[in-house]
Chain A
Amino acid sequence: MDNELFMNAVASHPSEMTSLSSFTSPAAMLNWDSMETPHPLEEQSIITRNVSKDCFFLEKSTEQSFFGSTLSSLVSPPSDSSFSGGVAGENYVIKELIGNLGNVGDVYGAPANISGSCYATPMLSSPPLDAFSGDSRFAERAARFSCLGSRSFNGRRNGLVAETVSINGELTRVSSTSGIKPPAGESSRKRKAKSKENSPSKASQSPNLSKKVEEKEDSDTKRSRKSEENGEKTKSLDPYKDFIHVRARRGQATDSHSLAERVRREKISERMKLLQDLVPGCNKVTGKALMLDEIINYVQSLQRQVEFLSMKLSSVNTRLDFNMDALMSKDIFPSSNNQQVLQLESSSDILLAGHHSHTLQLNPNDSSNNIMNPMETSESRSFNSQLPTLNHFTDSISQFSTFSEDDLHSIIHMGFAQNRPSNQVPSHMKAEL
């Protein structure tokens, strides 16, 4: 295609062209709703005509839309004489081009449906192509321009390259970040600059993707899930993009139905894998049905355990005087820090008037996993004998409360509750709530 030669004027390498195109792609991704469709085709014809020209012809035409002006600035109408034979002024031309493109970037807002881009390139093809809403003309244009983009450029414009690359670098970053954040769990195959062959087909398919997802409901047994999944797709994206962009893997069906289906399947299988990690004994099980069996059993067993424990707690509650202060002195959960334990110990020394402390001292030292062994030693007996006597200390606690409050406040974080400063304790608890 003659269009390719047009781009010869721009850069030398395809990579650089892609970088340039990526530079333009943010511009392309900008909101070009205002752009009329007819004139790009005209531009295209202009491009073909000026293919032989070896440089950009920047022309600031004000009568057209801004995009049109930019586009035409790239392609000089044959009647343009201001930059004719502009080999001498090519640097200037190039700088103007960059300036123009930068202006384009300023004018247009956030990326949106790309109604047209004269700089449609492989880089551009991935996100914005998928986003526009079924503009067939654009597909055609995109195809042509992606041809443009893919061609290598002569090495004549090294200066241009050097200038543009720096800008492109920033803009590529911008484009990549401003591009769609990949939806959860999609592999890197998506949204990579694919070959241009995909882009036209994608361009035609993906605009209908959202519609087809809904149409798929009829063919799918899980209808409710389909619609929800469609909603799911849309909600995870940036507001200006409505679609999750999927690329067909090599050797797989490119039907939009199957694409969406595959996305959905992968999401589900991911989550099943995570559940597999959570539920013990699921590693050997393969298959969704058996996995789900295991999961259901596990949840039921956990719930039954909770019931059983609540019954146990209720029975214990009725028996005990429920002075949990000393009980809760040690945090229920084992991973408390040593400092806290020591702090607690110090306060408990105060509270228990010292001679109980040795029983509690046992605990920080006991870092082993044998629970009941300390309990079953002689210490436990003393502990148990001392515990009821703790009740008698509740009166004396008030004496200690003055200087033990600081410790208590720190201990409260560990779940230690005091009866005496109880007015403070509930408030603290409520603060947490």
Chain B
Amino acid sequence: LAPWIPVVGLEIHAQISSNSKLFSGSQVQFAAPPNSLVSFFDASLPGTLPVLNRRCVEAAVMTGLALNCSINKKSLFDRKHYFYADLPAGYQITQQRVPIAVNGSLSYSFCIDNKMSQMVTKTVRIKQIQLEQDSGKSLHDGTRSQTLVDLNRAGVGLMEVVMEPDMCCGEEAAAAVRELQLILQTLGSSQAVMAEGQLRVDANVSVHHPGEPYGVRTEVKNINSIRFLAKAVDYEIQRQIEELENGGTILNETRAFDSKLGCTVPMRDKEGKQDYRFMPEPNLPPLILYDAKSLPANMNHQQVINIDWIHERLPDLPSVKREKLVEQYGILPEHSFTLLNEDGLAEFFESVAKQTQMKPKKVIGWILNDLLSYLKQHSLTVKESPVSSFLLADLLNLLEKKEISSTAAKQVLAELWKGEGKTPLEIVKEQKLELLQDQKELEQICQAVIDEQENQ
């Protein structure tokens, strides 16, 4: 059987972290009474007009720069028409012709075979980033055969990040999205929490034989976590291969991922191919951005967005943070990945490293093997850790000064974990875990053990 090459592309919608919406002054907030965060414009009442939120543009520029994109100094807004109850205007304002950023790239890494020791780095091309409106939320009431509509989310700013089909499996897709999530969170342009719908991913999947043209692709939606993204992509690849090997064909359709069954199913309500009748948004002139060279002399500050100014103020991206951790503390690259993968863990590690004489290369073991596994077992975040960086550093100092053995240190940590407010030293004294340094005393104990053995 000829080998199959799976091809995976992603369309990611990230909710912009802002106080108000993209084109109106109503608030952006996750859980609020239905239809309380809705302005007349969001409800599409006649006579209302869109007014662009400066913060949303800045967020998109930051994200574009972080993803190595070319920022379009002139970008345009368009209307994408379709009918749905949670889209009151009957169209979404988006950027179809000329988006705000194009032609970028994202580097991501993952471990081969789940072994931390072998990390692979790949790159995926970013086709574009566009600004667009989010739709409202539909709650389907099957029993009463109706849909309840909440427009709180309608009009919230989104950045759509389009990744080219450079990925080949669920693992790559998951790693790429994870890295994007970390970047967005570092920039602050989106909080990118998938569980709260701030980051939504649709996957485009197809398979083909080497040397042949790309196969028909399907779009997979309703993926609610990074873990499910990997599962959904891998399932769809397998499904397509099996279908084709059995002589079937792949339909260019949209499928939903069913997380309970672990499979993709065709989505109903997709009546044939959609014709979105794109047209320029007549109420918005082109969006013009400036840089240091093109900065106009006499314009109001508040009306000018300077790409270079934003570039200079970008924070260290995750890849840079990792390099710095490896360089500064002599830890392995794999360690730096784990540190950044857990919210607050890198800061915790650095805090401990500063407060202890133990070498960072040894400290990292305690952070990644002991502390992290405790946290995982109890489903706690670093912030919720009953063991503070101060306490852990204190404990490691005892170990470093050889006042206790490493086995004893683990025992103390287990006790510290109970969060009863005792210091490491107090626990050591309580449980009599001090290392004996006295030669004579040690000899006496050893002799006693030998004697007992002989007696038995």
A pairs with B:
no
